[in-house]
Structure 1
């Protein structure tokens, strides 16, 4: 769809059909609002997601303001777990301002929180960071990998135009036991390499796009026990909502498209995603709604 049915927040007004088994949106930015959108209250976002069977969310803060937001939100809302990091594009900026060490110290203090279960999104982004920032960005990625391993947290990786270097640095540093390629964007060959290494691959609305045949091919290489689903909201709304603001309550559109590609029934995929999420991130301890079996 175009933005048909979008309300004043830029969000689709109609909810998708609920999923038959509760699932997790394993990467959402509730602290970010797209330009021109009205704010979407955290409690509202959680309630609308739960209405379609998305009962648990991983809120990801990837700059200092986002980290502070995340720590406050996970204290208030049991449906949320937290992921915090300095985004690959934040690291060179903070370094240039002479504030990187201070930011790392604040991040490490926040990461000790029991409900922060993820160090991420970290990784590499060669799309927005020029050659002059690559060395600092790679050093930042290594720092986050070390933090995740020291604290026993899962690692969520942002990888844009940097596939080979992401895999190389993970090999050099030794990936944490629980490593997730967030918003997976690689091809079939990369998916196979990640699966062989034991990583989890998380697919967003991009897998539903008409021009994403290569991404759907990559999806077919991932065993059910290594699959996750996400929104990366407020970005990357799935078909048929492409162009609208994304939100966790649109996960059913992405998950049903994934089930079609994999030729598995929707309840089976839901159960796998739910079980994988709790295996990677641990229990939420949040109220659950809808069917779980």
Structure 2
């Protein structure tokens, strides 16, 4: 079952590995459109992290008005975990993929085609509703790894089309090439920029192309004016919200582990930036999520 496998992430740079107190619940439920619940913050006992099971994470989220989570993946192991999680709990939908930074590793081992074939098989599961996260990352992968990233990205685009499901894009320092690839090969009908990292100009291009922009807790960071500018020009029916948990914990909790139950902090920040009613924004975010991924139950 999904609760039996968790990956420990590095605790480097974390000031406090305890989960924060729950925020005020939302009145209108929303969904966390991208999280990595297979990654824990260390062992459940002893010094350091607080390991939470899948059920505990989902229960905490439900208590504050986060009705479901799209569990994203980055390799074969986490993709299998995502499908297992989605099959075991109706509050989870799966997204499966080989992460762009993992694609060169599989390629170097001569296993990229094999890995993509596994993703193809997992994408056929009825609880798999997206290919993701896939895309391009020029920050962590050097020039030598770019060909494998491009090969993998285009293969994942083809899988999303084949299975008629959404695609979640990881785009880091590769905006122009990601947009060019989508234009050249044709984007899936439902394409999401996970943890959107561009600026106002890119947001306009993406929205005009019919893509969805998903905003995470880094929207609240002091140095993220480009993201706030992008949010301002994105049509409400193209906006999604996510945690990218356990990463990108919103201010004022930065430095603590992130989790789906902290989505209300980012949602309220978004509502203030957009000068819209929180309940109105929540209803739109929920409708957008269901339009992209389908129903959870």
Q: TM-score range by the shorter chain?
A: over 0.9
Q: Is the 8 A contact 2:32 2:241 kept in 1?
A: yes
Alignment check: 8 A CA contact 1:3 1:241 kept: no
1:75 corresponds to: 87
Residue from 26, 31, 47 that aligns with 2:38? 31
Partner Cα distance (2:115, 2:255) in 1: 34
C-alpha deviation, 1:255, in angstroms? 0.5
3-state SS of paired residue (1:220): helix
Structure number with the bigger relative contact order (C-alpha 8 A, sep ≥ 6) is 1
Q: Which runs of 5+ in 1 are unaligned?
A: 286-293
Moved over 4 A (4+): none
CA distance in 1, matches of 2:60, 2:145: 40
Alignment correspondent of 1:120: 132
Match of 2:23 among 16, 19, 23: 16
Distance in 2 between residues matched to 1:253 and 1:89, nearest whole Å: 29
C-alpha deviation, 1:135, in angstroms:
1.2
- What is the deviation of 1:276? 0.4
Q: Give the Cα separation in 2 of the matches to 1:168 and 1:206.
A: 25
User: Does the aligned pair in 2 maintain the 1:186–1:218 contact within 8 Å?
Assistant: yes
- When normalised by structure 2's length, the TM-score is 0.92
In the superposition, the TM-score normalised over structure 1's length comes to: 0.93
Whole-angstrom distance in 1 between the partners of 2:207 and 2:113: 34
Change in CA separation of 1:101 and 1:3 when aligned onto 2, cut-off 3 Å: closer
1:66 paired with 2:78, answer: yes
Which residue pairs with 1:291 in the alignment?
none
CA distance in 2, matches of 1:71, 1:261: 35
> Is the CA contact (8 Å cut-off) linking 2:74 and 2:96 kept in structure 1?
yes
- 2:191 equivalent in structure 1: 179
Tell me the distance in 2 between the aligned counterparts of 1:103 and 1:32. Answer: 21
- Deviation, structure 1 residue 10: 2.6
Over aligned residue pairs, what C-alpha RMSD do you find?
A: 1.4
Alignment length (residue pairs): 280
